[in-house]
Amino acid sequence: MKRLSRTLGAVVAAGTAITLVLSGCVPTGSQAAAAPQTGGPPPTLAEIHSVSSHLPTGEAEAAQSLVNTVFGADRRASLAATAELLVRSGIGLTNDKQQLALASDEVIADALVPLAYIPVLNDSLIRGDFFDGAQVATLFQDLGVTTTPASSDVLLATMRGWGKDQDAEPQVRMAGNLVRALAAHDGTLPLPGATPRFDAVQLYLLFAQLVGTVVDYHPKAQPKAAGPDFAPVSYVTTELSGEEAHCEAELKRLEKLGERLKDKAEKKAYTMVVTKGVGWAIRGGLTKGLNEEFLAKYSQLVGKSFKAVSSAVSAAQTVATTLLMMTGLAIDVTDDHGHKMHFRHKHGDTAANIHVAATVSFDSSLVDQDEYACYKLIGLDIPKNGTVSGKNEKGQWSGWQVHWAFGENIGRNNYYGSTAHGAVIRPQQWDAFQRNHQNQHLDENGKAVLETMTRTEKEPNKGTEHKVNAEVVATVDYVTKLKPSLSTVSNVIQVIDMTARAITFPSARHTIEVTYHGQDTYVMTGHGQMNMALLVGMTFDSDYYSCNGLNGPWQGRAAYSADTMLMGDVAGMLGYEGAKKGNFANDTTQFSLDPKVTEPQKVDLGEAHFGVQVTLKNAPKRGEHIDGYVGEGTWLLSGSGVALDSLFNRATSFGVFSSGMTYDVRGVQEDPRCPGAKFEDDTWDD
Amino acid sequence: MGRLSGFTLVAVGAALLVLSGCAATPAKDAAATSGAGVSLSRAKDSLHPVGLFGLDQARIARTGQVVEIDYPGDCESLLNVFEASQWSVKAIMTPNAALNEYLLTLRMGAVRDMVWLYPSTVACHASVTEPTEQKFSFAGPTAMTGTSRMLPFQCQKQGDAATDPVTFSGMYDGPGDFHFMLSATFAPKKGMSPIDPDSAQVSVVHGATSFLEIMGAMLNAQQAGTEDDSAMPNGAGYYPSDSFEGTANITSTKPLAGTLTLTGLTDNEGGGRQAVTVGFRCAQ
């Protein structure tokens, strides 16, 4: 038994099934229609047109509208929007007759998508399934698209810049807008240093636009476009009886049909990929490194690796459709506490634990479970439609498991990570969790359950309730035997095998709101500098904190210092009386703020009416604590706020300029000056 | 029309002075207006700008053509958020010894917004100014009529009284490679007002990018010590001659908007007479 990595070597049942579907060794759409579908029937052309006709004209606005609709409450519109976003990105949609049903004026000929598959793709989006950057990078490497795994930085930069070149094709610009809008909806913007995540659509568009072959599409100009001469690539067929011959025949048919489609294109060199290694690269957005990697290697791939099938067409289509079909494997994560848990009030109290359950299923709505003709050629186990059993017919483990991760457990909407608390959630059985490399076998019902625990409040229910979003990530994994090299079977099967080995599985994340009681602390700290005509310099400092909410009492220190040169002149210019030479500091005055007041609140510290001024802009409601910005402060001179005094505004011609003259008032989880942290430090139950 | 020579153009020079940390930022006193922006303001019924993501924790307020963003993080992080959104970011000015601020353009298609970023201790405050479309007409040595996208660079009152004059500077982009900047000081009251002759100036440049970006390139060249005539864009500068007449026809005071008509302008060599009529609108 050899354990394959999740991304590199897994000869995966589902993946194989998918590949076999591509190769035609599976039943037809009519049979698929009989299979249970959670997503409902595919969108009709009229529904897609309705969504399209109501989109804003601006590309960014249209992308946003499509994403909003995909995740909206109207199921039919959601499906139609999923179809429309593909079309606008250059993906052609095919109907049950295996004809191109809908496409933009330029279409990627080897990345066509059956309309029947839209519900599955939509379900994957709604579920939030994703592939992380490492999976994507390894997938592309395994497919031979890159020689080395693309780094996270490269993938993120590609997402950031995708289609922002004004000269890029509309389909590329739209795809870039959609990829980023989807990322924004998912809360996973491609920020530098982030962990890249790709949902099924993002991954599919990335692959298709990188290596796909673009052709013109003018259905009205070619009345026969929907006829036999213009038949698009087929994914499913009724003409199968299994075995290698059928696989090979179908693959060759794919090539032939794809070439026909390309031959119909006007002056578009479908040989771009073959001869130049230049597909519809994500112009203007693809980082140079990745661009070179993709194109150079893909050219090589076309020339060598896929020589067996003599054309890049079926190779690209095979891979593209495999990526698409991977979404048929789903992982659903739930828990038994409604996504919520609270810190324990006593050690060892397992009643507060939460059980996170991952259920893996395979939606083979386009696949007949009884006719995986080519499957046996690979010798792999394809899951039945429905939940994926962790047991085989002998009652032994089937190789399916879930990999758990807490690596990104701190949500973006909190400041918990700013203090040294450690994670808020972890497995109850930590040792076993580590010993099993964070993997857990599926049971016979396709389920893996992880019991998780949180920390313990030292003084239960004392203080203000805080919230932290913890995240648990579950990834489908499969461990199986490797068959001997399949190269002796046939060249066609090599292609299938190569694609299957590259398959990676989706992940799902589960967010848990963890609450606990702690301090209600706010702080404001600032350091400002002001320079008048390069002759006089002043510095200002504030360092105040409140342990009892925004209203206070606030305590701490404020100070200013001024150089001794020309201070009298400065005083005159400022129009105030007596900001004296030298230094001034006050650390005895305590004050309060009214959270309901949005006008500036002034605190006069006495010396020449020096003081601080606070303007609350985002005050918490009663009983709430806000972690982060709630307002801003500045200093008072002669009773006037310096940051608001027009005399000190940089817009004046006095040559006055400054920095740091405003500072934030913000809520924090704790401050060492406030008495007693109210929750336990890193005391875990093992 | 010749090549601009260094920073002899007063308007450009004044703008560079701003970038050097010695002058204006967007006016703070504001009045809500309906707005006629062509970019961010297209987000109807929402203050959230179109195509800017990752601002869930930020406080966002809109006044006229200006979107103010208080982002709870440093300005580098906010820049990253902009770049991860649908916009492209081009830095005109980054923090320097004199001024700890950023001046950027946000670009999406043909639209360019002007952005100032001001860091504070743990937050970054952004002021995003959207362009408006304004008609203009040039007659004389430079002859051109059309519609430009205008970014108000300065709308600065010269005193505390309501009747004190206002200095307006606006950057106009388009059509094509035609760009200009116009400055004028006049009374902010409805109706006709004379333009202070000492304040009027018009700079015209031709280039593939916006006036602000051209100005940024000039600034960078100056700071890098690589400034020379060959680096200067083609253009011209016009100033009041003895026969100058200028009129501001103010149609709105909140925001300040109307039409500026300047006649009797001349170039450095005193040749020709240039007339300019242009619409304007302050951001707030």
Taking CA–CA distances from B160, the nearest residue in chain A reads: A646
Taking CA–CA distances from B79, the nearest residue in chain A reads: A191
CA distances from A288 to A243, A283, A302 (A): 43, 10, 21
CB–CB of A160 and B25 under 8 A?
A: no
Q: How far apart are CA A280 and CA A297, in angstroms?
A: 15
Q: Which residues of B touch A61 (CB under 8 A)?
A: 42, 50-51
Q: Which residues of B touch A615 (CB under 8 A)?
A: none
Residue A442 has pLDDT above 60, yes or no: yes
Strand partners, B191: B250
Q: Which residues of B touch A413 (CB under 8 A)?
A: 56-57
CB–CB of A657 and B51 under 8 A?
A: no
Q: Which residues of B touch A177 (CB under 8 A)?
A: 51, 86
Q: Total domain count for chain A?
A: 3
Name A99's Cβ contacts closer than 8 Å, sequence gap at least 6: A226, A230, A231, A232
B158 plus B272 within the same structural domain:
yes
With cut-offs at 50, 70 and 90, classify the pLDDT of residue A563.
low
Q: Let me know: does A374 contact A27? Beta carbons within 8 Å.
A: no
B44 plus B160 within the same structural domain:
no
Residue B82 has pLDDT above 80, yes or no: yes
CB–CB of A651 and B154 under 8 A?
A: yes
Query: Looking at the complex, does the CB of residue A618 fall below 8 Å from at least one CB of chain B?
Result: yes
A233 plus A145 within the same structural domain:
yes
Query: Looking at the complex, does the CB of residue B45 fall below 8 Å from at least one CB of chain A?
Result: no
pLDDT, tens digit, for every residue of A126-175? 888 888 888 888 877 776 666 678 888 888 988 998 888 877 889 989 99
**The CA-based dihedral angle spanning residues A229, A232, A233, A236, taken in that order and rounded to the nearest 10 degrees:** -100
Top residue of A155, A158, A167, A180 to mutate, by most chain B CBs within 10 Å, is A180
A183 plus A316 within the same structural domain:
yes
In a domain, B24, yes or no: no
**Domain end position, chosen among A328, A356, A375:** A328
A511 plus A527 within the same structural domain:
no
Strand partners, A478: A400
B98 plus B140 within the same structural domain:
no
Query: Looking at the complex, does the CB of residue A61 fall below 8 Å from at least one CB of chain B?
Result: yes
Query: Looking at the complex, does the CB of residue A459 fall below 8 Å from at least one CB of chain B?
Result: no
In a domain, A502, yes or no: yes
A562 plus A453 within the same structural domain:
no
- Give pLDDT, residue B47: 60
A485 plus A565 within the same structural domain:
no
Residue, of A540 and A262, whose pLDDT is higher: A540
Residue with token string 């982030």: A194
**Dihedral sign of CA atoms A170, A172, A175, A180 in order:** negative
pLDDT, tens digit, for every residue of A399-418? 889 999 875 433 332 333 33
Report the pLDDT averaged over residues A505-518: 82
Q: Which residues of B touch A183 (CB under 8 A)?
A: 53, 84
Residue A260 has pLDDT above 60, yes or no: no
pLDDT, tens digit, for every residue of A642-669? 653 333 333 333 344 566 778 889 988 7
pLDDT, tens digit, for every residue of A313-369? 445 555 555 555 566 678 889 999 999 988 888 878 888 899 999 999 887 655 433
Report the pLDDT averaged over residues A370-382: 46
Report the pLDDT averaged over residues A84-91: 94
In a domain, B31, yes or no: no
Report the gap between the CA of A666 and the closest CA in chain B (Å).
Answer: 9
Q: How far apart are CA B253 and CA B250, in angstroms?
A: 7
A227 plus A88 within the same structural domain:
yes
Report the pLDDT averaged over residues A503-516: 80
With cut-offs at 50, 70 and 90, classify the pLDDT of residue A462.
confident
Query: Looking at the complex, does the CB of residue A632 fall below 8 Å from at least one CB of chain B?
Result: yes
Say how many CB pairs under 8 Å bridge A and B.
109
Name A591's Cβ contacts closer than 8 Å, sequence gap at least 6: A552, A553, A554, A603
Q: Let me know: does A28 contact A366? Beta carbons within 8 Å.
A: no
The interface residues of chain A toward chain B in range 506-535, judged by CB-CB distance below 8 A, are 525-527
**Domain end position, chosen among A516, A534, A558:** A516
pTM score > 0.80 for this model? Answer: no
Q: What is the mean pLDDT of chain A?
A: 68
**Domain end position, chosen among A496, A516, A536:** A516
For residue A515, give both structure tokens. Answer: 């609450």
B201 plus B237 within the same structural domain:
yes
Domain that holds residue A482: 332-516
Name A595's Cβ contacts closer than 8 Å, sequence gap at least 6: A549, A550, A551, A616, A619, A620
B260 plus B182 within the same structural domain:
yes
In a domain, B25, yes or no: no
Report the gap between the CA of A201 and the closest CA in chain B (Å).
Answer: 18
Residue A267 has pLDDT above 80, yes or no: no
B111 plus B168 within the same structural domain:
no
In a domain, B21, yes or no: no
Taking CA–CA distances from A188, the nearest residue in chain B reads: B54
A612 plus A489 within the same structural domain:
no
CB–CB of A180 and B70 under 8 A?
A: no
Which of A441-445, A490-494, A517-521, A624-628 has the lowest average pLDDT? Answer: A490-494
- Give pLDDT, residue A70: 95
Query: Looking at the complex, does the CB of residue A629 fall below 8 Å from at least one CB of chain B?
Result: yes
B170 plus B59 within the same structural domain:
no
Secondary structure element (H or E) that encloses residue A65, with its range: helix A59-70
In a domain, A676, yes or no: no
B59 plus B168 within the same structural domain:
no
The interface residues of chain B toward chain A in range 15-44, judged by CB-CB distance below 8 A, are 21-25, 27-28, 42
Quote the radius of gyration of chain B (alpha carbons, Å). Answer: 18
CB–CB of A629 and B57 under 8 A?
A: yes
Identity of the amino acid at A327: T
Name A232's Cβ contacts closer than 8 Å, sequence gap at least 6: A92, A94, A98, A99, A100, A112, A257, A258, A261
Domain that holds residue B200: 2-16+132-281
Residue, of B185 and B96, whose pLDDT is higher: B185
Secondary structure (3-state) at B70: strand
Report the gap between the CA of A162 and the closest CA in chain B (Å).
Answer: 9
In a domain, B208, yes or no: yes
Q: Total domain count for chain B?
A: 2
- Give pLDDT, residue B58: 83
In a domain, A7, yes or no: no
B63 plus B144 within the same structural domain:
no
In a domain, A684, yes or no: no
In a domain, B186, yes or no: yes
In a domain, A681, yes or no: no
CA distances from B6 to A432, A650, B267 (A): 72, 25, 15
Q: How far apart are CA B133 and CA B172, in angstroms?
A: 9
Report the gap between the CA of B132 and the closest CA in chain A (Å).
Answer: 17
- Give pLDDT, residue A471: 82
Report the pLDDT averaged over residues A72-92: 94
Q: How far apart are CA B72 and CA A627, in angstroms?
A: 10
Secondary structure element (H or E) that encloses residue A293, with its range: helix A288-300
Residue with token string 């009892």: A548
